[in-house]
Amino acid sequence: MASLTYDEGTIRVDGEVSVPLPGVERDPRSESGRAPAYRYAQLRDALRPLAADVRDDVLDLVDVSELHSSYDLREYQRDALDAWEESDRRGVLELPTGSGKTVIAIGAIERLATPTLVVVPTIDLLNQWRGELEAEFDVPVGQLGGGEQRVEPVTVATYDSAYLRADELGDRFGLLVFDEVHHLGGEGYRDIARLMAAPARLGLTATFERPDGAHEAIEELVGPLVYDLEVDDLAGDHLAPYDIKRIEVSLGPEERARYDEAQGIFTDYLRESDIQLRSGSDYQELVKRSGTDPKAREALLAKQHAREIVANADAKVETLSDILDRHAEDRIIVFTAYTDLVYRLSERFLLPAITNETGTTERSQILDRFREGDYSRVVTANVLDEGVDVPDANVAVVLSGSGSQREFTQRLGRVLRPKEDGGRALLYEVVSEETSEERVAARRR
Amino acid sequence: MLTKELLRVSRRGGGYHPQFVGDDAEARDLAARVLGVYQGHVGETRGDLDSALDELEAEFAFKLVRGFAKLLDRETAFETRAPLDPERTRRLVFECAESVSVATDADRREALDRAAERMRVPTDGIEQSLYADREVQQVLVNFDSRWTPETLCEQYDLSLAQTALFDATEVCVRSSDPATLVSTVKRLRLLYEIRRTDQGREVVVTGPDALFRRSRRYGTRFARLLRTVASASEWTLEATIDDRNTERTLRLDESDVSVPGVEPVTEMTFDSGVEADFAARFQSLDLDWSLVREPEPLAAGEHVVIPDFAFDWNHGEFRVFFEVMGFWTPEYVAKKLSRFGDLEDVAFLVAVDESLGVGEEVEALTDGAIPYSGTVRVKDVVDALREYEADLLTEARASLPDELRPDDDVISLADLADEHGVSEQTLDSVAFPDHEIVGRTLVRPAVLDTVAETIEAGQSLDAVESTLAGEDLSDTSAVLSRLGYRVEWEGLGGGVLKKKD
């Protein structure tokens, strides 16, 4: 008689078995056999012929047969789900944004009627998924992350929280759903899939291939790509066209003086210590040096200060005042990377603000009110990231440093919608005039 | 524990050395200043406190300043101070702003006035409350620190070492308190195995998944384990660190890190009166064995046995483990017996309470069972040890040649036995062709001849003794007797040498 138990992220095999067991190694520490938990489905299959002689206590699942959903899946959603089921309920679906990935996952949870853990990359997605699951299944939905640690048969977790608790919760779920599954390629996050025993695994993503080849690891842990759908396949749902306006502002005389001072400290240090900044790695070297060299640290702090002066330039605030005035009838999202600037703008223009300091309740309340039209403006640090249902806006304002962040503006462009009267969406980029470092250095000499 | 970016570590010589402050005077002064900054900011905002700390950071090693601050933050209470509830105020203000569509300063004023009107408060109160709950706006209301500059430094070193362990993939520990170590390892859901090394057995601690891949995921548990390890009076810890994919070794012991407020127990402690009583009586005898309390953990299959005592043979490397098995529940007895069955191959004696009735089973599983009732009789234990002694003597004798020719002109049998790592008794059957045995000392005949020529009847004992001392002879009476003299005592004063009759 052999027995299988779950032990902290591994499957422990006690007793002798007459068939070879995939992934099982001898563990002298416990004088037993042991395999990583993700091999459980294979192990179970290998042991099936001996069922009578094996006691399988790996999973500890709560009964959730009452999970029913009212969604009627669209044809491609059903196809995707069928393909996943045919692949032994392991695999990745590659679907473009807006194709209803959540709905497919809800379909999978309903079909399997088993406790499920949904893993998501951001707090915003955490709130969004939890809301949808609660609305759909009418059961309490657990949450791990965003200040809460509550486990229920259906639970949503951030990748970070799931990583921390994987070996403790690995026997409690029959199905794992990984939203934005490409994140699972990260070295640490792989542990989530490795240490949990759930036999069924579903990955969702818009971009499965990773340049670092980590998608191969995902294949082993979650399953192969079983279905993919191109944007063009989704008829009638295309992205809004938008225009970009770039506004350059200058520093005021007092800002200029403070900027020159700070920038001067930085460039002087570079000259004195004969450092040239040609690439990102040169800069990394400087950061490393600042850990032990107080002068390097002073220089870096000065550089940071100079950047803040540029980012916070008063002229930007004035420009925003003009834009808000011009677009009194529009729906506007204001972005800036600096949390302090978010609050300065919020206090100055009385705009609802969302940053990493904003609590979960207030955050979803602001987004809801924006969605429903109670608010028509919102200011935020760059936290409305991939995959989140950003409420429709037709004007976006990005207050950046002196350069533009192309990737970010492109992504932002995608969330913009045309106005109901057909007016094109508009994206403002407010930047500071090029502040030449050479010129500053020359003046100080 | 600190956050990882506050780790101060030197990789000098390929090692991994946390930069402990120890009792460095400058660090202690800095600790005092950081404490002062916190005390001085009661009633002020987090933002002001942070700027004051920033100033110290510019002046001193900033990671050290932040490390101290991190530890003090835990004892600091902040609270939101505002006339109105900030979250509610914001909701109302944003609603009013929506209806005004704020762009200019005048718009702003109007929106705030509307909000003030609806809440029936002055506009100022609205402005003060808007973001009063942001962390930087919160007020330091209470700072109740249990640290002095000295203990803050001590805690810093412990936290620093814990932080270094975040990146550990495996930890090996030797401890004077293995029982607590093993129970903490279990509580932290880690696994251990016993590894034998030249310095004795050590406990190797890893996580379940470590069998398949080197992982840092147990790092925080290793860090928590350090508290237990460092509470023992003597310990060493060796950790394998995954330092950005380079493997490095971190070594710590009781001289690096201690736990503030915890006095390590250095005297023997006992689980039961039977054990304490036995230890006291055993130590009062002068035997060839030394008693060691909770010596080291022994592997017993997937478990571990930590014997109550060990007896170390004074004349070489040999250790007999000893367990006192008192009366307990049947489950306890069954568990003990199963552990003995799995025990690694070591010399192991068990004193068994006769009322348990398992003497025979124990006898079969170990080297021997010593029955007792009430108290363990030392004599029974000494008898059991004698059996090892006989073997040890035979073994030691076998390692010696039949003849020994030491280089020294004069050497005691005790010293010679030590040199060979055997007991004095072992030398009984060895021949010494170059020496004569005088008392318990080997002496070259030439030395005896020289002495015989120098001393004569009528000399004072003092003079004779100094002559003998010149030849390294300390056993005066044996030498004198061998040379045919005796000492005639004069009252209470010194003696005089006489020829033996």
Nearest CB partner across the interface for B301, out of A31, A167, A322: A31
pLDDT at A138: 80
Q: Which of B131, B419, B278 minimizes the C-alpha distance to A345?
A: B131
Helix B62-73 and helix B46-59, axial crossing angle in degrees, nearest 10 = 150
A352 touches chain B (CB under 8 A): yes
CB contact under 8 Å between A10 and B63, yes or no, is no
Cα separation of B249 and B150, whole Å? 28
Which ranges of B120-209 does DSSP label H, i.e. alpha helix? 123-129, 149-165, 178-187
CB contact under 8 Å between A298 and B93, yes or no, is no
pLDDT-based confidence at residue A356 (cuts at 50, 70, 90):
confident
Tokens of B277: 């009583």
Paired strand residues for B204:
B172, B193
Cα separation of A346 and A362, whole Å? 15
Q: Which of B440, B435, B421 minimizes the C-alpha distance to B479?
A: B440
Cα separation of B322 and A160, whole Å? 48
B58 touches chain A (CB under 8 A): yes
A406 touches chain B (CB under 8 A): no
3 state DSSP class of A296: helix
CB contact under 8 Å between A10 and B209, yes or no, is yes
Question: For residues A444 and A268, is the Cβ–Cβ distance under 8 A?
Answer: yes
Tokens of A431: 């930047």
Which ranges of B297-408 does DSSP label H, i.e. alpha helix? 330-342, 359-365, 378-398
Question: For residues A427 and A336, is the Cβ–Cβ distance under 8 A?
Answer: no
Q: Which of B310, B292, B291, B315 minimizes the C-alpha distance to B392?
A: B315
CB contact under 8 Å between A352 and B212, yes or no, is no
Paired strand residues for B45:
B139
How confident is the model over A259-302, as pLDDT tens digits?
A: 999 999 998 988 888 777 776 677 777 887 887 788 888 888 89
CB contact under 8 Å between A29 and B193, yes or no, is yes
pLDDT at A445: 38
pLDDT at A235: 46
Residue by residue, pLDDT tens for chain B (501 residues) are: 899 889 999 998 888 999 999 999 999 999 999 999 999 999 999 999 999 999 998 888 889 999 999 999 988 999 999 999 999 999 999 999 999 999 999 999 999 999 999 989 999 999 999 999 999 999 999 998 889 999 999 999 999 999 999 999 999 999 988 888 988 998 898 998 888 888 878 999 999 999 998 889 999 999 999 999 999 988 999 999 999 889 999 999 999 999 988 776 656 666 677 788 888 888 888 888 888 887 888 888 888 888 888 999 888 788 999 988 876 677 778 888 888 888 888 888 888 888 777 777 787 778 778 888 878 888 888 888 888 888 888 888 888 888 888 888 889 888 888 888 787 888 888 888 898 888 888 899 888 888 888 888 888 888 888 888 888 888 888 888 888 888 888 777 778 888 887
- String of DSSP letters for A76-90: HHHHHHHHHHHTTTE
Q: Which domains does chain A have, with CATH numbers?
A: 2-57 (3.40.1170.30), 75-233 (3.40.50.300), 242-248+312-432 (3.40.50.300), 252-310+435-444 (no CATH)
Cα separation of B180 and B178, whole Å? 6
CB contact under 8 Å between A30 and B207, yes or no, is no
Interface test with A, best of B19, B211, B302 (most A CBs within 10 A): B211
Across B61-90, b (16+ Cβ under 10 Å) vs e yields bbbbbbbbbbbbeeebebeeebebebeebb
Shortest distance, CA B293 to any CA of chain A (angstroms):
26
Residues of B in contact with A10 (CB under 8 A): 208-209, 211-212
A328 touches chain B (CB under 8 A): yes
* Residue B79: φ, ψ to 5°: -145, 155
Question: For residues B300 and B340, is the Cβ–Cβ distance under 8 A?
Answer: yes
Question: For residues A196 and A169, is the Cβ–Cβ distance under 8 A?
Answer: yes
Size of interface A-B (CB pairs under 8 A): 94
With 50 as the cut, is the pLDDT of residue A236 above it?
A: no
With 50 as the cut, is the pLDDT of residue A151 above it?
A: yes
B36 touches chain A (CB under 8 A): no
Mean pLDDT over the full length of chain A: 84
Question: For residues B64 and B33, is the Cβ–Cβ distance under 8 A?
Answer: no
pLDDT at B13: 87
- String of DSSP letters for A303-370: HHHHHHHHHT-HHHHHHHHHHHHHTTTS-EEEEES-HHHHHHHHHHHT--EE-TTS-HHHHHHHHHHH
